[in-house]
Each structure stands twice: as C-alpha cells, then as structure tokens.
C-alpha cells in the first residue's frame, strides 16, 4: 500500500501501482466503493500477467484513503483521479465503474493530452439529475443529507448536499462531450440502478467516432460474473494499443 499526497486541501490517497508497459490502465471505482472490488482486482491480475501498467486507488474518504466520506464531492473525486493520472508517466486508459464512469469523463476532459481511451462499466454521468426524485432533491437541499437502503451491503448509502450540488455543477449529458479517443461502454440490460439506455445516449454524445456500446442482456449493475469480467478485459484489450 502506498500513499500519494495530492493538492494541499485533499486527503492523502491510498493506491496500488503496478509499473509496466504503456498505457497505464487506471481503475476508477463507483460511489462509496473502493479499489478492492472484483473488477479492479481482475484487471490488476490481467495487467500483471501481460506486463501492462496498472493503477487502482481509493478516492478521498473511501477505503484506505484519508478523509471523511461525507466531506467529499464529485469534483473532489475528479481531482483525485487527475492526481492519479499525474502520478504516472505516459498515456493512460481510464476504466470507470458506475459513478467512476462520470469521474472518468471529467478527468479525461481535464487531461485530454494524457487520456488515450476510456472503458465505462454501467457508466452513470449526471446521476444526481436522473437518479433522484424531486422529493429527494428537495430533502437534500433542505436537510443536507439523505440515506438510502443499500442493496449491496448492510449499511445505508449516504448522499450529501455537497456531493449533489457538485454533481449538478458538473453535468455532461446536455451536449457533445469533447473526447476523441477510443471508447467502450459496457452495460447490463438488467441493471436496476443505471438504465442501459444511459450508455446508448452517452455513446451518441461523445465526440469520438471510435465509440462502441456492448450490452449484456442478463447483466446486472455490477457486471462482476466470470463472463462479465472476461468481457471487461476484452474491452480494455480492445483499446490498449
């Protein structure tokens, strides 16, 4: 486990970096997730086997990184992803899962000369808009904090006014998204959290002509079954020169 210090006001971030051939593949977790998930570990094993550079990390306030989760915002986590890009040399390929797909796009726009390709897994840009009811949005604005039952664990998922407002300030799906590299968007059509048509719409908005959307008819949100992981690895191999 290593620690890198980002901007002075950001927590110190935990990460694992396996040096290897360029481009370095960087995995970006989803909301309230960490770098120890099935997809991140499967990609790390793949990268080690072929000598590919790979980095996985925890956003500030998540996993092994310092900071309090409820103090973080989407823009903060974008800055953490940019810090990871800046920490390695050469081109990178970003792999973003769920909210990590939103962070992936924001980081690519912040470092256009460094990001060679993108792979999204149930990418969820703008979910502060379409992922909350009007009542939930009003509750967040009034009370500053919202809890939801978590289908993936025993503890409730917490959202804050700070995170929600940062998300609204960084929405991307209202017009063209200026990225020109290769993009692969994987999505399960049985995803109960992020409708698969969000990836289809995202593919339309990304400026690059090198965009493909890969749908898994019985795939859920996580896409972490053995066949799903094989598809993810294939998608990464598809965009790594």
To the query of whether residue 197 is one of the catalytic residues in this protein, the response is no
User: Catalytic site residue 58?
Assistant: no
Phi, psi at 116, each rounded to 5°:
-85, -30
Tell me the CA distances in angstroms from 15 to 22, 67, 90, 144, one per residue in order.
18, 14, 18, 30
Determine which one of 73, 187, 221, 228 is catalytic. 221
**Who's near 41: CB < 8 A, 6+ residues apart?**
none
What's phi and psi for 216, nearest 5 deg? -115, 110
Q: Is the four-CA dihedral 81, 87, 92, 97 of positive or negative sign? A: negative
Cα 63 to Cα 39, 44, 58, 164, 195, distances in angstroms: 16, 17, 6, 21, 27
Question: Is 221 noted as a catalytic residue in this protein?
Answer: yes
Residue 225 neighbours by CB distance under 10 Å: 15
Catalytic residue among 76, 80, 191, 228: 191
Q: Which two tokens stand for residue 18?
A: 């396996």
Q: Which of 33, 65, 98, 199 is catalytic?
A: 98
Q: Show the 3-state SS of 144-161.
A: CEEEECCCCCCCCEEEEH
- Nearest partner of 194 among 106, 101, 117, 105, judged by Cα: 101
Dist. CA 138–CA 12, nearest whole Å: 33
Query: Which residues carry out catalysis?
Result: 98, 191, 221
């Amino acid at each position: 486990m290593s620690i890198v210090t980002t901007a002075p006001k950001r927590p110190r971030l935990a990460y694992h970096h396996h040096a290897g051939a360029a481009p370095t593949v960087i995995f970006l977790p989803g909301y309230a997730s960490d770098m120890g998930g099935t997809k991140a570990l499967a990609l790390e094993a793949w990268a080690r086997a072929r000598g590919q550079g790979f980095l996985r990390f925890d956003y500030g306030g998540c996993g092994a990184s310092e900071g309090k989760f409820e103090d973080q915002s989407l823009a903060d986590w974008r800055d953490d992803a940019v810090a990871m890009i800046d920490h390695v040399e050469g081109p990178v390929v970003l792999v973003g899962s769920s909210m990590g797909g939103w962070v992936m796009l924001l980081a690519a726009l912040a470092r256009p000369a460094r990001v060679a390709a993108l792979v999204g897994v149930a990418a969820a840009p703008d979910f502060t808009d379409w992922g909350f009811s009007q009542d939930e949005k009003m509750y967040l604005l009034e009370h500053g904090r919202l809890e939801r039952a978590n289908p993936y664990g025993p503890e409730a998922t917490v959202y804050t006014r700070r995170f929600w407002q940062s998300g609204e300030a960084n929405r991307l799906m209202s017009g063209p998204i200026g990225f020109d590299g290769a993009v692969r968007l994987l999505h399960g059509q049985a995803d109960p959290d992020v409708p698969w048509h969000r990836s289809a719409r995202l593919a339309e908005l990304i400026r690059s002509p090198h965009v493909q959307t890969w749908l898994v008819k019985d795939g859920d949100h996580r896409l972490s079954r053995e066949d799903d992981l094989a598809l993810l690895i294939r998608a990464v191999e598809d965009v790594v020169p």
